[in-house]
Amino acid sequence: MRFFVAMLSHETNTFSPIRTDRAQFEAHDLRYGGELLETYRGTGTCLGGMIAAATELNAALVPSLAATASPAGRVAKEFYAEARDRLLADLRAAGQLDGVLLDLHGAMVVEGIDDGEGDLLRAVRAAVGATPIAVTLDFHGNITRAMVETATLLHGYKTYPHVDMRARGHEAATRLAEAAAGRIRPAVAWRQPPMLPPIAGQLTTRGPMRRLYDLADAMEARTGVLTVSIFAGFPLADIHDAGLSIYVATNGDQALAERLADELAAAAWDLRREFLHTALSPKDAVARALALDGRPVVLADIADNTGGGAGGDTTEILRELLRVGARSATVACLWDPEAAAACVAAGVGATLTLPVGGKVDPVHGAPLTVTGRVRTLSDGRFVYKGPMMRGLEARVGPTAVLDVNDVKLILISQRRQALDPEMIRFVGIDPTAEKILVLKSSIHYRAAFEPLARAILEVDAPGLSSSNLGRFAFTRVRRPIFPLDEL
């Protein structure tokens, strides 16, 4: 068999002032053809799983585009058009295909196109006719009718932290082969209860999402059920279809798919209040961390998670650490290319005074002027070694550690979520030796840091990935929807 494979992935936070243009993709990952296979083979990613399954199935892969950028504002319409046209041109040039594998996100919003994936999938469907299309989607996908109706099968991640990307990629490729051989005939059902769960309430290790996935996993084990996905949705993409949704595919049994989808939608609705989330003020969180015995204590800066489209440069927790004179603390990581460049220019050992952070969005805090010593410099390359994206190389650009009275700021030049201890180790800091680790991440840090942290405290500082949805002015999401409206 011959399968076409491509990735176009972006989680769009429509409240972010950062436009996701071509340069943002180039900085993160943008490659074509055989490079897709070379880069992702053997990695803990959807593409890694698709490639592994294709090898096992003895299927040939025709690689096209692989494009992803750090979550931020709407994708520039010129870049989206370029990427879509490239993918469609590759499809036309691919010759006879048995199937199409796409690694998409599900919450990509393009300038002028709220449903990015729906638009892309319609174009791909028009190009390939009846050829089966299997798609992996992020747990944060905001699923639309266009996605459900154009794809043969959707496979959402079932975990947050997302530790099953490779498994989902493998599953999508395996099901695609079955569909291509005519061994399965998917019948799908989709439900969209009026729910917009905040990010910090969506983890799948416990709480309401765990309970829903326990139900879903039991359904998936039944004969005739192909796949069940519960998408928690991405609330900060302010589009009509944002929020939680249910997707069930059976082998030809439409009534069963509808019945299971109804059952899950009702269960999710009953749990809606359990998704609501509260966290500590920066002042209370720092005081509690310092009072605890043992180390490290993680202060999760859940509202400034670049993985949710926040700037990664807010300073409220840092300000509090310096105010109380905390020591043995590391802030991972503060996005500030200007400050990193100033440290590089000054050199290791130099002392300098400069403003850091607070440059993305004045609504969420101002720069903070600090005086510190440049402790380490790095070119910003490291390899993920934790449960997420293991084996994949990351680049965060010129990086400096500025030591401000033993509060160490890791200043990076490309926005990247602090979800792996390697993002601290690569600049020569041992995360387990620190008293306090400030991690700019909502949930993903838990996969690698829970096993090594003495305690975790979630902090409700300002930021564009806040789980306090009352802080945002929604205009496009369908209403009424819980918890924006009391239902």
Tell me which H or E stretch contains 485. none
Q: Alpha helices, DSSP H only, in 103-203?
A: 116-128, 145-150, 165-180
For residues 140 and 364, which CB has a smaller minimum distance to Zn ion in the complex? Answer: 140
Compute the least distance from the CB of residue 149 to Zn ion, in Å. 23
Tell me which stretch binds Zn ion (CB under 5 A): 24-32, 121-129, 136-144, 462-470.
136-144
Q: Which residue is nearest to Zn ion (CB)?
A: 140
Tell me which stretch binds Zn ion (CB under 5 A): 133-141, 215-223, 458-466, 477-485.
133-141
Hey, what are 213's tokens?
């996935």
Compute the least distance from the CB of residue 143 to Zn ion, in Å. 13
Gap between the Cα atoms of 446 and 463, Å rounded? 19
DSSP states of 140-169 = T----HHHHHH-SEEEE---SS---HHHHH
Compute the least distance from the CB of residue 162 to Zn ion, in Å. 6
Compute the least distance from the CB of residue 444 to Zn ion, in Å. 8
Compute the least distance from the CB of residue 268 to Zn ion, in Å. 18
Task: Of 225, 179, 239, 232, give the one whose Cα is nearest residue 203.
Answer: 232
For residues 202 and 413, which CB has a smaller minimum distance to Zn ion in the complex? Answer: 202
Tell me which stretch binds Zn ion (CB under 5 A): 123-131, 135-143, 246-254, 473-481.
135-143
Compute the least distance from the CB of residue 139 to Zn ion, in Å. 5
Compute the least distance from the CB of residue 140 to Zn ion, in Å. 4
For residues 140 and 408, which CB has a smaller minimum distance to Zn ion in the complex? Answer: 140
Q: Is the N-terminal amide bond of 421 cis, ω within 30° of 0?
A: no
Amino acid occupying residue 433? A
- Residue 241 within binding range of Zn ion, rule CB under 5 A: no
- Residue 128 near residue 100, CB atoms below 8 Å: yes
For residues 140 and 390, which CB has a smaller minimum distance to Zn ion in the complex? Answer: 140
Task: Of 346, 399, 337, give the one whose Cα is nearest residue 371.
Answer: 346
For residues 156 and 357, which CB has a smaller minimum distance to Zn ion in the complex? Answer: 156
Compute the least distance from the CB of residue 197 to Zn ion, in Å. 13
Q: Is 415 helix (H, G, I), strand (E, B) or coil?
A: coil
For residues 132 and 141, which CB has a smaller minimum distance to Zn ion in the complex? Answer: 141
For residues 195 and 400, which CB has a smaller minimum distance to Zn ion in the complex? Answer: 195
Gap between the Cα atoms of 39 and 25, Å rounded? 15
Residues 138-167 that bind Zn ion (CB under 5 A): 138, 140
Phi, psi of 318, rounded to the nearest 5 degrees: -60, -45
- How far is residue 29 from each of residues 10, 26, 35, 284, 415, measured CA to CA in Å? 11, 6, 11, 39, 13
- Which residues sit at the interface with Zn ion, rule CB under 5 A? 138, 140
